[in-house]
Structure 1
């Protein structure tokens, strides 16, 4: 685990895994739930709310539709290529952040261990799974969401 004292000059006092590339967020959020923070865009909407450039609260999210309640599945694809859309479990809805904003992954949910972890070794093994092993893994992930079991 890596101790980060600041993100672009903003002090933060939390233990974090610094996976600040967008590809890392996308990789792990497609597999399971992740916790992360990001920097709010400097736009009129965020300036009006006094949060432009600030670090977000920790989000618990995924981009894996197997985990998202069926009633919350998106009706269309994200047509804005400058943003990344994710399902926010805390707000029970879809949110987004700008691709050019820093993202810091703080934890990843381990289905096998049934807990949040900062050990990413098991997730790197997923890419080498056979199709049958991957299907079983996705079934275990879908079981995290009772709403999907009744459909």
Structure 2
């Protein structure tokens, strides 16, 4: 398993605009930081008080690792099944701290966490990232 990505440089997310995240998550984005992961860095979107409101992690490598990353954050036996967009499989969970939407397809995985309790917000961002990356 690759290590969890860490926020690095303050710069725009290369595959997801701040305005898309602000609209989907319902909060103003004050800054964006990206991890050093290549070719698809994880993107960390911050709210005005300096706390992270949403993260997007993209993994492209092998199918076994992609599935394991999804199962780590949205375990099959304890999460709701997710299958959006078409052909992607994973799960979603909501808690008092927010929600996660994680899906994999082949050797790719996308994991979105939000500070909002509605998983639909994370799902919306995941679909936008997948479409932008053409995964």
Higher RCO, Cα 8 Å, sep 6+: 1
TM-score (norm 2): 0.29
Q: Which has the larger radius of gyration?
A: 1
